[in-house]
Amino acid sequence: MSATPDARTVEGAVRAYFAALRAGDRDAWLACFADDATLADPVNAPPASGRAGLEGFWDQMTTMFERVELTEGDIYVAGPRAAATWTGRNTARNGKVATFAGINTFEIDGAGRLREVRGYWDARAMLRQVR
């Protein structure tokens, strides 16, 4: 097992995740994750697991949204874990824009990659804005 990442590595992994989303860079976003990672975003949705699950999550998200802009706020690091506040402004393929906010929790492996991400936000309220 790899060593526990330091606070700078954990924060960097969180920032890279948000930067890749904003850039619309699928490859960079996927590279943020460990091979066995799990993403529950939002937490009450079925999780995406492993590379194939994460690719499917990205593809579904970008089928609906032309642009995904999540901007991280405060990041709180505790060992290999972090929580980050964020605000979102997503543009749907129909041109409508949704603004929303949430909190994500992250677990980072010793290589500085995301092992687990959980998103706490109201997907239904966001989707109502773009329908």
Q: Per DSSP, what are the bridge partners of residue 40?
A: 118
Domains of the chain: 7-130 (3.10.450.50)
Token reading at 55: 């690719």
Rounded to whole angstroms, how far apart are CA atoms 96 and 129? 7
Per-residue pLDDT of 46-55, as tens digits, reads: 999 999 999 9
Say which of 6, 25, 27, 41 is annotated catalytic: 41
Average pLDDT, the chain: 96
pTM over 0.85: yes
120 is catalytic: no
Cβ contacts of 84 within 8 Å, gap of 6 or more: 14, 18, 72, 73, 74, 75, 76, 103, 104, 106
Per-residue pLDDT of 74-106, as tens digits, reads: 999 999 999 999 999 999 999 999 999 999 999
How large a percentage of the chain has pLDDT more than 70? 98
41 is catalytic: yes
What's the pLDDT at 2? 61
For residue 80, whether the previous peptide bond is cis, meaning omega lies within 30 degrees of 0, is: no
Helices (H), the chain: 7-23, 26-31, 50-64, 123-130
